[in-house]
Amino acid sequence: MKIQEFFEHHGIAGNPFAEEDAQNDTVFKRTCLETTFHPAWDKIYGDPADPSTSIVFGEKGAGKTALKLQMVRQFELHNQSALGRRTFVVLYDDFNPFLDRFVSRVGPNRPVEKVLGQWKLWDHMDAILALAVTQLVTSLTDPAARGAGTPKLSVPQARDMALLAACYDQSTGETFPSRWKTLRRLVGYRAWRGLGPLALGFIATLVMTVALGMSFSRGSLAWAGAWWPWLLVAAAWMPWGVRRTRATWTAWRIVCGMRTGNRTVGQLAAALARMPLVDLAGQPLPAIARSDDRYELLAKLQGILSALGYVGMVVIVDRLDEPHLINGAAERMKQVIWPMLDNKFLKSPSMGFKLLLPIELYRFIEREDEQFNQRARLDKQNLVPSLEWSGETLYDIASTRVKAASVGTPPATLSQLFESEVDQRRLLDGLRTLRVPRQLFKFLYRLLVAHCHAHTEEQAVYQIPLERFNTVLAVYRRDQEAFDRGLAPR
């Protein structure tokens, strides 16, 4: 008996339990994305007009990525209805590029654990600034994203935007010089003011060239052998040389200080040389291994966002266990995420952080000392120790998915897939032991396959009996417990 035939009999198009990852789950994106939420949703999501921090711990398959997708969608809906009070959302869910650059700079030939032990809060801040600035520059320079309007920034904000883009814009869609030039034009930053030393050198060279040409035409080049004309040309080029040397030195310090960045010294030096010295004087630069400058740069970014109609910024952290340098190792995850657990950072004004973390990390928190607790102040961060699901909630999720995949009228229900002996109480008791949505989907998929394989097409049975439900559930729970013991030996 084919499983497609089973679903067709019940008026269901496709298998609603085939996908296990919310990122690729079309049924979830089509229906559950805006309708089915975890009971702790309000605490996790908060108020989009006043972003807050929340820290969620959940085991694999508990729905952390689904939460991320739902938050992104809700922020999109909020931004569509509140144009003057939007929330800028940054997805910090791909650590691979930042960790790879960090390791290549700090110690490519050293043990990974020792290298990750040097990961600091300012490395996170550089990564977040890179993501946010790149996203913001794209929204300003891309005609499709910008629309018909032109950004209106004050002169200091235009300077800040140019400075942030010079340091943090990491787009690979076009070359940095052309993208930076487009940005300067759109925000009204007059970088031509920094061309004075270059213009002086060109003018002196042009005058010297004209003088040589005129002397050659008259047959008199005696003065060309004197030293003073060439000294004047060299003196004219000296301000540009000094300016470029200072810009290269500053760029080198920034590139060394930003251990997660991808900007080259040449690119950054060329950009800084275009900015007048008066615009760079006293400005915070990510050139020193400390967080103070990054806090000021974040404040500059927030000022620009405020001018563009954003009242706050939200950073969503997810998939911490997936980078190849971490590969699910709890100790390495701790080394990377612990510097971020700083109350001053998590409570930054007009910012909210949504940390969706693996449950393995909560065991480390339970063993931390008083110094860590005073620094992190997790009691003020809307902490969810475990992303748990009740049997009733899991039943509702399964029912919603069956209904979403139905093409008949009335839509199919979860209970009609089972014989009458498998009543709602038995389903609730059984599903409760599965704990998380991913295990629910795996079990129901295995149950449906086992049922269909047990019958031929000539003697098809279109409802699952109690005995098969109990048998498959018992085997699945045994496999689940064995898997859990393998992850966390007792």
3-state secondary structure the chain: CCHHHHHHHCCECCCCCCCCCHHHCHHHHHHHHHHCCCCCHHHHHCECCECCCEEEEECCCCCHHHHHHHHHHHHHHHHHHCCCCEEEEEEECCCHHHHHHHHHHHCCCCCHHHHHCCCCHHHHHHHHHHHHHHHHHHHHHCHHHHCCCCCCCCHHHHHHHHHHHHHHCCCCCCCHHHHHHHHHHHHCCCHHHHHHHHHHHHHHHHHHHHHHHHHHHHCCCHHHHCCHHHHHHHHHHHHHHHHHHHHHHHHHHHHHHCCCCCCCHHHHHHHHHHCCHHHHCCCCCCCCCCCHHHHHHHHHHHHHHHHCCEEEEEEEECCCCCCCCCCCCHHHHHHHHHHHCCHHHHCCCCEEEEEEEECHHHHHHHCCCHHHHHHHCHHHCCEECCCCCCHHHHHHHHHHHHHHHECCCCCCCCHHHECCCCCHHHHHHHHHCCCCHHHHHHHHHHHHHHHHHCCCCCCCCCCECHHHHHHHHHHHHHHHHHHHHHHCCC
Torsion sign (Cα): 294, 297, 299, 305:
negative
Structure confidence by residue, pLDDT tens digits, 331-351: 999 999 999 999 999 999 999
Give pLDDT, residue 104.
93
pLDDT at 227 over 60: no
Give pLDDT, residue 256.
93
CB burial of 5-19 (b: ≥16 within 10 Å; e: otherwise) equals: ebbeebebeebbbeb
Q: What is the mean pLDDT of residues 28-53?
A: 88
Give the model's confidence band at 190: pLDDT under 50 very low, under 70 low, under 90 confident, else very high: confident
Highest mean pLDDT among 51-55, 82-86, 182-186, 228-232: 51-55
Closest alpha carbon to 68 in 35, 39, 44, 40: 44
The answer to whether the beta carbons of residues 37 and 70 sit under 8 Å apart is yes
Structure confidence by residue, pLDDT tens digits, 89-103: 999 999 999 999 999
pLDDT at 133 over 60: yes
The answer to whether the beta carbons of residues 373 and 24 sit under 8 Å apart is no
pLDDT at 203 over 70: yes
Q: What is the pTM of this model?
A: 0.88
Write down the mean pLDDT value for the chain.
88
Give pLDDT, residue 161.
95
* Long-range interactions of 373-378: CB distance < 8 A, separation 24+: 375/341, 375/342, 375/343, 376/341, 376/342, 376/343, 376/346, 377/343, 378/55, 378/341
Tokens of 241: 């040389």
Give pLDDT, residue 217.
64
Give pLDDT, residue 79.
92
Give pLDDT, residue 490.
36
pLDDT at 298 over 80: yes
Give the integer Cα–Cα distance in Å for 193 and 374.
48
Give the model's confidence band at 146: pLDDT under 50 very low, under 70 low, under 90 confident, else very high: low
Give the integer Cα–Cα distance in Å for 277 and 294.
21
Give pLDDT, residue 19.
82
Give the integer Cα–Cα distance in Å for 372 and 376.
6
Tokens of 482: 């064995």
Q: What is the mean pLDDT of residues 230-244?
A: 71
483 vs 1: which has the higher pLDDT: 1
pLDDT at 145 over 70: no
The answer to whether the beta carbons of residues 315 and 354 sit under 8 Å apart is yes
Quick one: what percent of the chain has pLDDT higher than 90? 64
Report in angstroms the alpha-carbon separations of 40 from 251, 360, 384, 391, 431. 46, 20, 8, 15, 20
Q: What is the mean pLDDT of residues 249-258?
A: 95
* Listed range (134-148, 177-191, 385-399) with the worst mean pLDDT: 134-148
Give the integer Cα–Cα distance in Å for 393 and 389.
6
Tokens of 165: 């883009």
Give the model's confidence band at 486: pLDDT under 50 very low, under 70 low, under 90 confident, else very high: low
pLDDT at 487 over 60: no
Give the integer Cα–Cα distance in Å for 176 and 165.
9
Give the model's confidence band at 222: pLDDT under 50 very low, under 70 low, under 90 confident, else very high: low
For residue 37, the Cα-to-chain-centroid distance in whole angstroms is 22
The answer to whether the beta carbons of residues 95 and 326 sit under 8 Å apart is yes
> 400 Cβ partners below 8 Å, 6+ apart?
31, 32, 35, 36
Quick one: what percent of the chain has pLDDT higher than 70? 89
Q: What is the mean pLDDT of residues 8-24?
A: 85
Give pLDDT, residue 489.
39
pLDDT at 223 over 70: no
Report in angstroms the alpha-carbon separations of 100 from 50, 104, 196, 254. 34, 6, 40, 18
pLDDT at 191 over 50: yes
Whole-number CA gyration radius for the chain: 30
pLDDT at 221 over 60: no
